[in-house]
Amino acid sequence: MKKLFFCSSLPFFVLGTVLLSGQSAMASGGSFMDRIHAADEPFDNTAIETAYQLPVKTVLAKESYQGGTFKVLARKDSISRYRCSVCHTDKKVGVRDGALFTHSDIEVNHGRGDDKLACIECHDEKNRDLLSDAQGKKIDFDHSYQLCGQCHFRQKRDWLGGAHGKRETFWAGERVVLNCTSCHSPHSPAFKTKMPVTYSLPLEE
């Protein structure tokens, strides 16, 4: 009887050992996070030929990303009345034209509470074709991240690294990222509320 018990339990014992060792082998085989952390060779971005030229105009950023260069979407092309110095001259403007030329359509909703920003806190007082930061440094419209970053430095740090904002179309190839003003209206930077495009079904269905 005892022998029989031994004989019948042996296969289970062997099976159990095999299964257990198999599991531990998988666990000690190194997690894939180790593989990720061990990968320190930068990806050869020239290996991927971007299928087509981006349909957007870009400029080389005046910042560096991981020690290299990157591009941002140009801004000036999408400002309908650029260049500003065409209108902002010493020439006198008639009352009728003045109504046409003032920026009455712009609503500034930038800044906390009632303490909204004034135009010249970002726009240069003298040269209307440029922006200027709190220290008076002149900044091009295409490089507005330099201006935004003086207050929103955390967002700028994340944007430089890639945790804020997004890339244009491609994850590979030359790094082209959206500018601050590609997503945020500079005069009213918070995202608007709107209706969702669709809806989701519950998970358990």
Closest CA to 137 of 153, 156, 124: 124
Both tokens assigned to 34: 């180790």
Give the three-state DSSP class for 83: coil
- Min. distance of Cβ 99 from other proteins in angstroms? 34
- Min. distance of Cβ 11 from other proteins in angstroms? 17
Q: Is the peptide bond before 75 cis (omega within 30 degrees of 0)?
A: no
Applying CB under 8 A, does 30 fall inside the site for other proteins? Answer: no
- CA atoms of 129 and 75, how far apart (whole Å): 12
Amino acid at residue number 112: R
- CA atoms of 31 and 34, how far apart (whole Å): 6
Q: Please identify, among the stretches 9-17, 40-48, 96-104, 120-128, the one whose residues bind other proteins according to the rule CB under 8 A.
A: 40-48
Applying CB under 8 A, does 95 fall inside the site for other proteins? Answer: no
Q: Please identify, among the stretches 29-37, 73-81, 99-107, 127-135, the one whose residues bind other proteins according to the rule CB under 8 A.
A: 29-37
Contact 124, 116 (CB under 8 A): no
Among 88, 110, 152, 167, binds other proteins (CB under 8 A): 167
Q: Please identify, among the stretches 97-105, 115-123, 140-148, 186-194, the one whose residues bind other proteins according to the rule CB under 8 A.
A: 186-194
Applying CB under 8 A, does 188 fall inside the site for other proteins? Answer: no
Among 141, 165, 176, 186, binds other proteins (CB under 8 A): 165
- Interface of this chain with other proteins, residues 3 to 22, rule: CB under 8 A: 22
Applying CB under 8 A, does 32 fall inside the site for other proteins? Answer: yes
Both tokens assigned to 39: 């990968």
Closest CA to 50 of 160, 177, 171, 148: 171
Both tokens assigned to 70: 């990157």
Applying CB under 8 A, does 134 fall inside the site for other proteins? Answer: no
Q: Which residues lie across from 188 on neighbouring strands?
A: 185
- CA atoms of 172 and 165, how far apart (whole Å): 16
Residue closer to other proteins (CB basis): 138 or 166: 166
- Binding region for other proteins (CB under 8 A): 22, 25-26, 31-33, 35-36, 39-44, 47-51, 65-66, 68, 154, 158, 161-167, 169-173, 178, 183, 191, 193-204
